[in-house]
């Protein structure tokens, strides 16, 4: 697997909930793949339109999660994710993201997250697992729409 990752960064989630909504500095876009929206819809027995809006021009993402009036993801409850087992990739990755440039993949991270620089160094196995997860999630679907 061909990717670079931050070899010295330490991280431990302190469950502050910052990544689940807007902050003074950031209007957060919680983007969803079509299959993620479908999974959440199934798990919550709600139509996709209840919790997400369709978006254009952000492929491979097809939806953006709706937020409450106070700018939080509508699935955040008591500072916890209420759809944890089907939360989108973007949430699983945070505070990291995978960028690609000239055929090379690289994990970046944001220091917005207060869990950065606490906990342990994550190491290659952690990033390899995330890389595999991203590849599996972005695998093309076999339906005729070609959406993923």
Which residues are at the interface with ligand SF4 (CB under 6 A)?
Answer: 13-20, 30, 73, 75-76, 81, 83, 87, 91, 94-95, 113-115
CB of residue 136 vs ligand SF4: minimum separation in angstroms? Answer: 18
Give the pair of three-digit tokens for residue 106.
Answer: 């690289």
Q: Which is nearer to ligand SF4, 56 or 111 (CB)?
A: 111
Min CB(50)–ligand SF4 separation in Å: 14
* Nearer Cβ to ligand SF4 (117/141): 117
Strand blocks (E) in the chain:
3-4, 10-11, 31-32, 52-54, 63-65, 76-77, 80-81, 96-101, 104-109, 120-121
**Tokens linked to 77:** 């409850």
Tokens 């009036």 belong to residue: 69
The residues that bridge with 11 in the sheet, in sequence order, are: 116, 120
d(CA 98, CA 109): 9
1 or 70, CB closer to ligand SF4? 70
Cβ 20 to ligand SF4 shortest distance, Å: 3
- Shortest spacing between CB 11 and ligand SF4, in angstroms: 8
Please identify, using beta-carbon distances, which residue of 95 and 107 lies nearer to ligand SF4.
95
- Two structure tokens written together for 49: 């339109």
């Amino acid at each position: 697997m061909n990717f670079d990752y931050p070899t010295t960064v330490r991280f431990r989630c302190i469950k502050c909930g910052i990544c689940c909504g807007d902050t003074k500095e950031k209007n957060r876009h919680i983007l969803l793949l079509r299959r993620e929206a479908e999974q959440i819809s199934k798990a919550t027995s709600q139509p996709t339109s209840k919790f997400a809006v369709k978006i254009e021009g952000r492929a491979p993402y097809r939806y953006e999660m709706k937020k409450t009036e106070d700018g939080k993801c509508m699935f955040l409850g008591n500072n916890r994710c209420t759809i944890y087992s089907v939360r989108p990739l973007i949430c699983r990755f945070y505070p990291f993201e995978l960028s690609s440039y000239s055929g090379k993949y690289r994990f970046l991270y944001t220091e917005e997250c207060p869990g950065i620089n606490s906990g342990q160094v994550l190491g290659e196995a952690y990033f390899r697992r995330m890389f595999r997860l991203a590849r599996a999630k972005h695998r093309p679907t076999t339906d005729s729409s070609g959406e993923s």
